[in-house]
Amino acid sequence: MDIPWWRDAVVYEIYVRSFADASGDGVGDLTGVRERLPYLQRLGVDAIWLTPFYPSPMADGGYDVADYRGVDPLFGTLADFESLVADAHDHGLRVLVDVVPNHSSSEHPWFQAALRGERRDRYIFRDTINNWQSTFGGPAWTKVADGQYYLHLFAPGQPDFNWRNPEVHAEFLDILRFWLDRGVDGFRIDVAMGLYKAEGLPDVGDQSFKSVSPVWGQPEVHDVYRDWRRLLDGYPGERMAVGEVWTDSSEDLALYVRPDELHQSFNFAWLQAPWSPTAFKKVIEDTLAAVPFATWVLSNHDVVRHRTRYDAADPGTGLARAKAALLTMLALPGSAYLYQGEELGLPEVTDLPDEARQDPVFFQSKGELPGRDGCRVPIPWTVDTPSYGFSPGGVEPWLPQPAMFAELSVEKQEGDAGSTLEFYRRALAHRRDLARSIPYTLEWLDSPEGALFFTRGPLTCAINCGLGPVHLPEHDAVLLSSGPLKRGLLPPDTAVWLRRDS
């Protein structure tokens, strides 16, 4: 079998609101993405994943979709989307779009009809409710005018569909066809382990994401992905789907990527692993043992940026560890998902004023949780205020950017060999040369305390998570390191790629 393009692809997540604003309204848009395709091509990624750009009241940053076949005027037009796909393909970049099947927006015509008392069976309405809580905080049920309640596992503006109604199936197959016909290369599936709720909606003890609970991971969901797989396979050009699946174990994750289901699933265990060689080794072993096509991810638009996570654990180490983790991730078999701005070493913005915050997590937790705005602050392209090149003219972006963004901007880092951006470019260029020619398997080497060494054919990767420097494993050449090597030793918080000729 030919190796499918997505097996080793590096996919770059674009949180559209925060990537680049061409229209000058302070919010990123599709034309902004199109204008930056040369940047992404030069960065060396294989594909982009666009977060939702569909018409939406933005109760949850666009994950509340009012029309699954359109483009919100905030982000452009369908013609802009078509131009973006065509240009991306011309730049050698594939395009994945988000599909949000667990819930719609409360502004969706089906829900508006349901509120009028028509066809409520496309959502989950009940006269009496259970104890389920919204993932964002507060009850998962909201009362409507006639006294019934509807279920929303996220914001009240995100009513959950009733997937036991065949009309919902048919609608989503048609939505997928709509975007496939417009040339998308695949889909990222939001809350892919959701969709079905246990019959009878029993109370739950623990509401958190679980492999299987009355709320998540109901077995019927797999039939949905079997249908979707058949649809994708019917199109030319290796169309694919990657699920946002939170499970307790790699074995449970593997159920979603059986040969007739999804092509890939995010592997959040890598993102959640602490800075420890044993933790990294366990995640890598478990993942490779369980799934045929691994994926790796360190950051996305829902979690604290990994530079800041590492810093929180050990102040001052964040950037060095972020670069070392990246180099290690790019050496692993499988595909890697990057999040916009990590190539600039952006930290989480932790001091956003409350009045600027927009994430429903902040509001539904009554300010107890900061929410996810801190990883969604618009990208700094240039050193100039007010928006560091994010918006044209003097427009302020939708979330305020901190002053340190000038130093971290693309303009500042471009051409500086010591910058994080140029490090990412070198790493991705090396990976592109290597990834499809070396074995998909990995072999562990004996590693000194605190370190982890492995090989894939001619490539050896070594990461030092310990407190002191370690000797490098045997090699003929140093390809690339995440920080300076000291007299042939690998310092703490550093990773290196080495070549062995025999």
Residues that bind ligand NOJ (CB under 6 A): 60, 63, 100, 154, 190-191, 244, 301-302
Alpha-helix runs per DSSP H in 414-463: 420-434
User: Whole-number minimum distance, CB 105 to ligand NOJ, in Å?
Assistant: 11
B/e letters for 348-359, b = 16+ CB within 10 Å, e = fewer, are bbeebeeeebbb
DSSP letters along 224-288, please? HHHHHHHHHHTSSS--EEEE----SSHHHHHGGGSTTS-SEE--HHHHH--S-HHHHHHHHHHHH
Nearer to ligand NOJ, 60 or 373 (CB): 60
Least distance CB 58 / ligand NOJ (angstroms):
12
**Least distance between ligand NOJ and beta carbon 167 (Å):** 21
Q: Which residues contact 257 (CB under 8 A, 6 or more apart)?
A: 243, 263, 264, 265, 291, 292, 293
Distance CA 297, CA 197 (A): 28
Shortest distance (Å) from residue 307 CB to ligand NOJ: 20
Task: Measure the CA–CA gap between 45 and 88, rounded to whole angstroms.
Answer: 11
User: Nearer to ligand NOJ by C-beta: 191 or 336?
Assistant: 191
Q: What is the DSSP string of 109-143?
A: HHHHHHHTTS-GGGB-EESS--S-B-TTSSBSEEE
- Exposure string of 470-496, with b = 16+ CB inside 10 Å and e = fewer, is bebbebeeebbbbbeeeeeebbbbbbb
Residue with the CB atom nearest ligand NOJ in the bound state: 63
Least distance to ligand NOJ, CB of residue 440, Å: 28
Q: Which is nearer to ligand NOJ, 367 or 468 (CB)?
A: 367
Residue closer to ligand NOJ, measured from CB, 153 or 435: 153
Question: Number of helices and strands (H, E) in the chain?
Answer: 15, 18
CB of residue 339 vs ligand NOJ: minimum separation in angstroms? 11
Element (H, E) at 30: helix 30-35
Which of 191/470 has CB closer to ligand NOJ? 191
* For ligand NOJ, the closer CB: 159 or 491: 159
Residue 498's H or E segment, with its range, is strand 494-499
60/72 with CB nearer ligand NOJ: 60
Residues designated as active site: 190, 244
Q: What does the alpha-carbon distance between residue 179 and residue 53 come to, in Å, rounded to a whole number?
A: 13
In 28-122, the DSSP E strands lie at 47-50, 94-99
Question: Least distance (Å) from ligand NOJ to the CB of residue 237?
Answer: 26
